[in-house]
């Protein structure tokens, strides 16, 4: 493909406005970078707030982590397995929260 007399390189993945597009015959999206960022944020909050009230921890996770996970969901169309992976990620973070705080009591 040529644009302004320059040949465009073919790449397997393109990041545009935070959404990762995968090359192929059909339009598809890579959800793993968003999931990785989501889990990194969850782990950072949990590791830095060990001695803070559980309600504050949950509030921090809801305000910071869920926005990371749901940012590109409105821009892409997920298939059933990708949707289930997103739901599982949110559930795992809350389970990790309940397991980490139950040990503090």
What pLDDT was estimated at residue 105? 47
SS3 77: coil
Q: Is the pLDDT of residue 8 over 70?
A: yes
* Position with higher pLDDT, 75 vs 36: 36
What pLDDT was estimated at residue 94? 63
CB 56 within 8 A of CB 49: yes
Of the pLDDT bands very low, low, confident and very high (cuts 50, 70, 90), residue 103 is low
Interval 71-82: pLDDT, tens: 777 777 778 888
What pLDDT was estimated at residue 102? 53
Residue 65 has a CB neighbour count (10 Å cut-off) of: 25
């Amino acid at each position: 493909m040529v644009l302004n007399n320059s040949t465009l390189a073919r790449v397997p993945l393109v990041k545009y406005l935070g959404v990762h597009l995968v090359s192929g015959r059909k339009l598809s999206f890579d959800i793993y970078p968003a999931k990785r960022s989501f889990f990194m944020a969850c782990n950072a909050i949990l590791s830095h707030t060990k001695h803070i009230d559980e309600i504050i921890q949950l509030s921090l996770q809801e305000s910071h982590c869920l926005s990371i996970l749901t940012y590109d969901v409105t821009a892409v169309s997920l298939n059933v397995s990708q949707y289930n992976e997103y739901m599982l990620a949110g559930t795992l973070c809350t389970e990790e929260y309940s397991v980490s705080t139950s040990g503090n009591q």
